[in-house]
Amino acid sequence: MKNDEFNSFDRHSRQEKIPIPMPFQSNTPGEPTPAPTVPKRRSKKLIIIGIIIAIVAVILGAGSVLAYNFWYQNPEKVVADSVMNAIKAKTLTFTGLMDVTNGATKVKIEIDGATDRAKGNVNIKSTLDMGGRPVTVNGSGLIDGEGTLYFKVKNVKDVVKAYSGVILPGSQDVFDQLIAKIDDRWVKISAADTKQFSVATSKMQKCIGDTITKFQSDKAATDEVANIYKKNKFLTIEQNLGTKDGSLGYTIKSNNEGAKGFARELKNTRVFKSLQDCDPNITIDENNAVASDKNAANETRMEVWVSQWSHEITKFSTKDETGPEKRTFVFEPVFNKTANVTVPEKSVTIDELKTEIETLIQSVYAGMAKAQIQS
C-alpha cells in the first residue's frame, strides 16, 4: 500500500473512532440509526434585506397617512364637507345664544331643541330689558310628523304688565282673557284648525309640512341640494384658527358669487318645485342671497368649528361690535344623535280661542280707528 493511500485510510480510521452524539439514536440491534439533523444558519444578507423592507414599508405607510391627512384635513374640504353633512344629517340637537345691545335696550335669547326629520321642537328663553325693566318670557314650539304646529308661552302676563302702556285703550281686558287661556299651555294649530279661517292656508300648511318631511327622508333630494353647494360654495375661509377640543376652527366670510349660483340652481331642485306647488308665492331671488353692503358684511366676524374626523359642524358664531348695535350669536349643533321630540298630550285648539282672537282683532282695529280720528 502506498504511503498516500495508507495515510488516507488512517485518517478515515481515526475519524470513525470519534464518537458523535445521536439524540435520536436507536438502541434496537439491527435497526439503522437516523442521520442527525443539522440546523441551517440563516443568511445574514436575507436578514438585512428583511429589515430594509420593513423600514421602507413603515416610511411609505407613514407617508401615505400624512398624505391622507393633508387631503382629508384640507380647510376647503373640511368646510365644504361640514355644510354637506349638515344638509344630509338625519337628526339634530342644538343650543344657541344671541345677545343684542342697542343703547339702553338689551335682548338676550337662549335656545335649545332637536329634530329627527319628521318632528322638531325648540325652546326659547327671551329676556328683554328696555331702560332697566327686564322681563323674561319662556316659549316653546313644536311641529309633528303631519305638519301640525304647537306653541307654548309662559310669563306673557308679565310682559303685558310691564309694557301695558303700549296696548291700545280698551284692549287690556281682551288681552287678559286671551292670556288666561294660553299662558303656559300648549296651543295646537293643525291644518284642520286653520281651515276655519282659510281653506287655502290650511292646504298650504299641510302641503309644506308633507314636502319638508319627504325631503328630509329622501336621500336623492338631499344629495341634490348638497351637490349644488359643492359646485357653488358660498363660504370662503379667511383664517385658520387651529385645533381645539377635537375641532378645526376657521374664520369665514360669504362668497357672493357662490351664494348667487347656489340660489340660482336651488330653484331647479325637486324640493323647491314641490314647495312652489304648495304656494306659488314661495320664490328665490338670487340677488337677495348676497350681502347688499360689502363693507357691513366684512365687519361681521364669522367663525366655524368642525369635528376633526367626522367633518360635522360643532360650533358656529358671529360677532359684530362695530356699530351702535352690538350683536353676538353662538350656535352649537350635534348631528346624527338621538333626538327626543315628544308631541304634547294636552293642548288648546285655535277653535277654543277663536272668540278671544276675533274680539282682540276687533278691539285693536277699533282702537286704531279712534286714535286716527283724535289725531
pLDDT in tens, 354-363: 776 666 666 6
The residue with greater pLDDT, 117 or 24, is 117
pLDDT of residue 113: 93
User: Does some domain include residue 373?
Assistant: no
Summarize the confidence of residues 312-321 as an average pLDDT: 92
Look up residue 306 and give its three cell numbers: 368642525
Q: Are 319 and 304 in contact (CB under 8 A)?
A: no
**Could you tell me what percent of the chain has a pLDDT over 70?**
66
pLDDT of residue 23: 43
pLDDT of residue 366: 57
In which domain, by residue range, is 144 found?
77-148+190-344
Report which of 122, 124, 120 is spatially closest to residue 110, judged by C-alpha positions.
124
Residue 102 has pLDDT above 60, yes or no: yes
**pTM for the full predicted model:** 0.69
User: Does some domain include residue 195?
Assistant: yes
H helices present in 73-131, as ranges: 75-88
CATH number at residue 264: 2.50.20
Residue 100 has pLDDT above 50, yes or no: yes
The residue with greater pLDDT, 270 or 359, is 270
pLDDT of residue 327: 92
Strand pairing report for 187-189 and 348-349:
parallel
User: Does some domain include residue 135?
Assistant: yes
User: Does some domain include residue 160?
Assistant: no
Report helix angle 350-374 to 172-182, nearest 10: 160
CA distance 94 to 330: 11
Summarize the confidence of residues 278-307 as an average pLDDT: 75
Residue 230 has pLDDT above 50, yes or no: yes
Summarize the confidence of residues 134-144 as an average pLDDT: 87
User: Does some domain include residue 71?
Assistant: no
User: Does some domain include residue 264?
Assistant: yes
User: Does some domain include residue 240?
Assistant: yes
User: Does some domain include residue 4?
Assistant: no
The tally of domains found in the chain comes to 1
Mean pLDDT of the chain: 76
What's the gap between Cα 40 and its chain centre? 64
Residue 126 β-bridge partners: 109, 137
